[in-house]
Amino acid sequence: MYHQNQKITDEYFHEILHLLPYHKEHTIGKGGKIQMACPFCFASESKEYKRSKKCSAFFPRKDLSDYYFSCFRCHTKMDFNSFLMHFSPILQKKYHREMELYGFTGKNCNLKKFRPRFESPKEKFDKKVMG
C-alpha cells in the first residue's frame, strides 16, 4: 500500500521539480534531500546570485512516504500536499483525486477525503412578490 502511495507522490514531485525556479541548479544531498531556490521568496531578492541561492529544500519522510518543504529565508514549512496547494492548485487537485482513487485519503492516511466546494450563484433572485 505504501509503495503505491510513494509512487504517486514521487510522480507529482518530479513533475513539479521542473516548474520550480532555477530547476537546473537543484542539488541532491544526504538522505535524498533536494536543495533549491525557494519558489515563494526568490523574486523578492534584487540580485541574481541571491535569487538562485539554494535556501530551501525538500526532505523525504520515509515513514509517511511523503516530502516536507522548508525554507530558511522566508521560514516557510509545509508538507507536500500543502506545497502543491500553494504552488499549483490544479496539480494539487489532480494529486488529491488520484490519491483518493487508490484509497489513500481519509482515516489513518496523510490526506483528508476530497470535498469539492459548492459555490452558489453570485446573483440572488429578487424575492419581491409581483402583484
pTM comes to 0.70
The mean pLDDT of 62-73, rounded to a whole number, is 83
Q: What is the mean pLDDT of the chain?
A: 77
Residue 18 CA to residue 27 CA, distance in Å, equals: 13
Q: How confident is the model at residue 77 (pLDDT cuts 50, 70, 90)?
A: very high
Q: What's the pLDDT tens digit per position in 3-40?
A: 667 788 888 888 888 888 887 777 888 888 888 888 88
What DSSP assignment string belongs to 47-71? Answer: SHHHHT---EEEEEETTTTEEEEEE
| Domain layout of the chain by residue ranges | 2-101
Question: HEC states along 72-95?
Answer: CCCCCEEEHHHHHHHHCHHHHHHH
Angle 22-41-72 from CA coordinates, rounded to 5°:
95
Residue 25 CA to residue 124 CA, distance in Å, equals: 52
